[in-house]
């Protein structure tokens, strides 16, 4: 089930995080985060709810600004970019939201075509349709094109959310809790889809989760966020299964795995 | 004990008043952003037209019924007072003045605040809490321009049209009542009605509707765009969009009427 790690280019760092701090009032969420993410790898950020995992990827996508520290994505410091530069960077980033965030008033096809049509005004309707069909086939939901998001199941919505980001062929995929609220079988389908996307589109992926099965199946490296910092970074077997840290141990014990 | 509860009541009121005026200030800033974004390309013509359809066409049924009933009832209620002085022949012009100068812009605005304003507040609010607005941002689409500018333009352009439509239907309702009682023909009813109506009346009502439409759009969008507290916040956004819009509409009505009266003199 687990993919190989030969696709990782360790000489090419796509995301650099240095001494990153972020607080919301008195709640100090990130307290000096340091991390490098390599081209082609899938990094899983594990941590309990409210530890700032989602905040981290929102800073990566420029949805939030850090208080201090550096967040460099594809060689550009995100908080120092102009609106135009940030938009250009965002076109290279795919963000799959926890609740999919599909546009309720649009059909699946329109949801997928929306970003494509806006950024490629020269594309004909036939070309847009072809691209939509391609990504829908990639996520295994070709027949859902005319359905509204409200008519889809949770797992299908996640797939369409991923498809919507894939249509722009991003270099980096950010997944916010991709298996949250899904049954184990649908969760496994989503895990396999994340691996498939990584292989087919050669993306670098950051997966935010507290689902250890997901972490084990998709992660090349696991980064464990404890008290606002990455306490452990490494392979799943090292930092989770054979950990001596009691906090990680208890996290592991409460998850059903294998 | 009683003194204590009085004090806390005062504090609650002052806090609510503070929050209200902070809201008005924030709406002012939001309006500034609207003008900054509205005139920059790319223009969202397709979405503006779709929103015009949603605001204008979808409100027609409610506006039709309300205006027709308003016309009939206003005429019916005014008749006995005029009849006392034997002045029922003034009914068409009285009704026309009331409808065109005051009722049509105000009633249309109140209907739109209730129907369109709450709809915008709830729609954008639910988009905010389900992260659809963030999804737009990360797809490098400017959500302010796509969601806010289009809706505000639609309410601004559509409200004057709805107001004129409402005035026409209300006059038809009034005609029905007058015709039933005095057997007046349609042509002579409208001739009588428009005798006292000047260009300034129609212009000021149209201008008022533009302002009311802008207010409804901007307040609805502001409340929806900055919704917090999940689904509960969506309900609050819809509700306060209506309350604040109506409050501002009444203030604007008073100011515009004063200004127009200076011109009239």
- Residue matched to tokens 């609510």: B16
Report yes or no: B131 at the A interface, CB cutoff 8 Å. Answer: yes
Report yes or no: A65 at the B interface, CB cutoff 8 Å. Answer: no
Show the domain range for B74: 44-264
CB B124 within 8 A of CB B189: no
Complex prediction ipTM: 0.88
**Does any domain span residue A183?**
yes
Nearest to A119 among B126, B132, B140 (CB): B140
Residue pairs spanning A and B at CB distance below 8 A: 51
Number of structural domains, chain B?
Answer: 1
Nearest to B135 among A97, A119, A168 (CB): A97
Using CA coordinates, name the residue in chain A closest to B138: A90
> Stretch A119-124: mean pLDDT, rounded?
88
Burial (CB count <10 Å: 0-12, 13-18, 19+), residue B28: exposed
| Per-residue confidence (pLDDT) for residue A82, from 0 to 100 | 94
Collect the ranges in chain B with pLDDT lower than 70: 1-7, 265
Q: How far is A75 from chain B (nearest CA, A)?
A: 18
Does the structure show a pLDDT above 50 at A258?
no
Tell me the C-alpha distance between A221 and A57, whole Å. Answer: 16
3-class secondary-structure state, position A165: helix
**Does any domain span residue B93?**
yes
Query: pLDDT tens digits, residue range A14-56?
Result: 999 999 999 998 899 999 999 999 999 999 999 888 889 999 9
Nearest to B134 among A87, A88, A101 (CB): A101
| Mean pLDDT, all residues of chain A | 90
**Does any domain span residue A77?**
no
- What's A186's domain CATH number? 3.40.50.300
Burial (CB count <10 Å: 0-12, 13-18, 19+), residue B186: exposed
Judged by CB atoms closer than 8 Å, whether chains meet at A114 and B141 is answered as yes
3-class secondary-structure state, position B1: coil
- C-alpha A136: how far from chain center: 18
Q: Among the residues of chain B, which ranges form H helices?
A: 2-38, 45-55, 60-84, 91-97, 104-112, 118-129, 132-138, 143, 150-182, 186-195, 199-225, 230-264
| Per-residue confidence (pLDDT) for residue B109, from 0 to 100 | 97
Confidence of residue A3 (pLDDT cuts 50, 70, 90): low
| Per-residue confidence (pLDDT) for residue B133, from 0 to 100 | 95
3-class secondary-structure state, position A20: strand
**Does any domain span residue B4?**
no
Find chain A residues with C-beta within 8 A of B135's C-beta.
Answer: 95, 97, 101-103, 164
What 8-state DSSP symbol labels residue A105? T
| Per-residue confidence (pLDDT) for residue A245, from 0 to 100 | 80
Tell me the C-alpha distance between B30 and A229, whole Å. Answer: 37
Number of structural domains, chain A?
Answer: 1
| Per-residue confidence (pLDDT) for residue A10, from 0 to 100 | 80
- 3-state helix, strand, coil split of chain A in percent (to 5) is 40, 25, 35
Residue A51 phi/psi, 5° resolution? -90, 0
3-class secondary-structure state, position B166: helix
Report yes or no: B46 at the A interface, CB cutoff 8 Å. Answer: no
Task: List, as one string, the DSSP characters of A202-235.
Answer: --EEEEEES-HHHHHHH-SEEEEEETTEEEEEE-
What 8-state DSSP symbol labels residue A3? P
Which long-range contacts (C-beta less than 8 Å, at least 24 apart) are formed by B202-206? B202/B100, B204/B101, B204/B256, B204/B260, B205/B100, B205/B101, B205/B104, B205/B105, B205/B163, B205/B167, B206/B160, B206/B163, B206/B164
Judged by CB atoms closer than 8 Å, whether chains meet at A104 and B130 is answered as yes
| Per-residue confidence (pLDDT) for residue A84, from 0 to 100 | 92
**Does any domain span residue A11?**
no
Tell me the C-alpha distance between A112 and A165, whole Å. Answer: 8
Tokens at B97, concatenated:
């003045």
Show the domain range for A133: 41-62+90-253
Angle between helices B150-182 and B2-38 (to 10 degrees): 100
Q: Could you write out the three-class secondary structure of A228-240?
A: CEEEEEECHHHHH
Q: Among the residues of chain A, which ranges form H helices?
A: 53-60, 83-90, 108-119, 125-138, 154-166, 184-201, 212-218, 236, 246-253
Q: How far is A101 from chain B (nearest CA, A)?
A: 5
% of chain A exceeding 90 in pLDDT: 64
**Does any domain span residue A84?**
no
**Does any domain span residue B100?**
yes
Judged by CB atoms closer than 8 Å, whether chains meet at A104 and B126 is answered as yes
Query: pLDDT tens digits, residue range A84-119?
Result: 999 999 999 999 999 999 999 999 999 999 999 988
CB A176 within 8 A of CB A211: no
Dihedral sign from CA coordinates of A195, A163, A137, A151: positive
What 8-state DSSP symbol labels residue B99? I
| Per-residue confidence (pLDDT) for residue A256, from 0 to 100 | 52
């Amino acid at each position: 089930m687990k993919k190989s790690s030969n696709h990782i280019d360790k000489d090419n760092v796509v995301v650099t995080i240095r001494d990153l701090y972020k607080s919301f009032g008195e709640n100090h969420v990130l307290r000096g985060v340091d991390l490098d993410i390599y081209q082609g790898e899938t990094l899983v950020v594990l941590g309990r709810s409210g530890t700032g995992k989602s905040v981290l990827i929102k800073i990566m996508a420029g949805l939030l600004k850090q208080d201090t520290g550096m967040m460099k994505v594809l060689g550009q410091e995100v908080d120092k970019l102009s609106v135009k530069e940030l938009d250009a960077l965002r076109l290279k980033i795919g963000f799959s939201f926890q609740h999919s965030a599909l546009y309720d008033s649009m059909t699946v096809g329109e949801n997928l075509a929306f970003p494509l049509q806006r950024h490629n005004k020269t594309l004909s309707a036939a070309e847009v349709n072809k691209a939509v069909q391609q990504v829908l086939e990639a996520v295994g939901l070709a027949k859902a094109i005319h359905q509204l998001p409200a008519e889809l199941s949770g797992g299908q919505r996640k797939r369409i959310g991923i498809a919507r980001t894939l249509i722009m062929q991003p270099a980096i995929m950010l997944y916010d809790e991709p298996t949250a609220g899904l049954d184990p079988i649908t969760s496994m389908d989503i895990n396999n889809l994340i691996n498939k996307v990584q292989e087919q589109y050669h993306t670098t992926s950051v997966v935010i989760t507290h689902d250890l099965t997901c972490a084990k199946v998709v992660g090349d490296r696991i980064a464990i966020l404890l008290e606002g910092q990455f306490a452990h970074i490494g392979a799943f077997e090292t930092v989770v299964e054979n950990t001596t840290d009691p906090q990680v141990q208890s996290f592991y014990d409460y998850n059903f795995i294998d | 004990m009683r003194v204590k509860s009085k004090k806390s009541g005062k504090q609650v009121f002052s806090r609510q008043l503070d929050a209200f005026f902070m809201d008005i200030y924030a709406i002012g800033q939001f309006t500034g952003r609207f003008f900054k974004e509205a005139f920059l390309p790319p223009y969202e013509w397709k979405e503006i037209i779709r929103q015009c359809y949603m605001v204008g066409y979808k409100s027609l049924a409610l506006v039709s019924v309300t205006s027709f009933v308003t016309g009939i009832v206003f005429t019916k209620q005014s008749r006995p007072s005029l009849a006392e002085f034997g002045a029922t022949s003034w009914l068409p012009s009285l009704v026309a003045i009331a409808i065109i100068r005051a009722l049509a812009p105000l009633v249309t605005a109140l209907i739109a605040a209730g129907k369109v304003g709450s709809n915008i507040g709830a729609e954008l609010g639910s988009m905010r809490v389900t992260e659809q607005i963030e999804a737009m941002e990360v797809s490098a689409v400017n959500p302010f321009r796509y969601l806010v500018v289009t809706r505000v333009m639609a309410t601004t352009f559509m409200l004057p049209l709805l107001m004129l439509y409402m005035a026409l239907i209300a006059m038809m309702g009034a005609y029905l009542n007058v015709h039933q009682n005095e057997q007046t023909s349609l042509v002579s009813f409208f001739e009588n009605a428009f005798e006292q109506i000047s260009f300034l009346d129609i212009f000021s009502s149209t201008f008022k509707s533009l302002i009311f439409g802008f207010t409804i759009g901007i307040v609805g969008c502001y409340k929806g765009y900055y919704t917090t507290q999940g689904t509960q916040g969506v309900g609050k956004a819809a509700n306060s969009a209506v309350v604040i819009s109506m409050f501002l509409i009444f203030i604007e009505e008073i100011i515009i009427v004063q200004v127009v009266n200076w011109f009239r003199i």
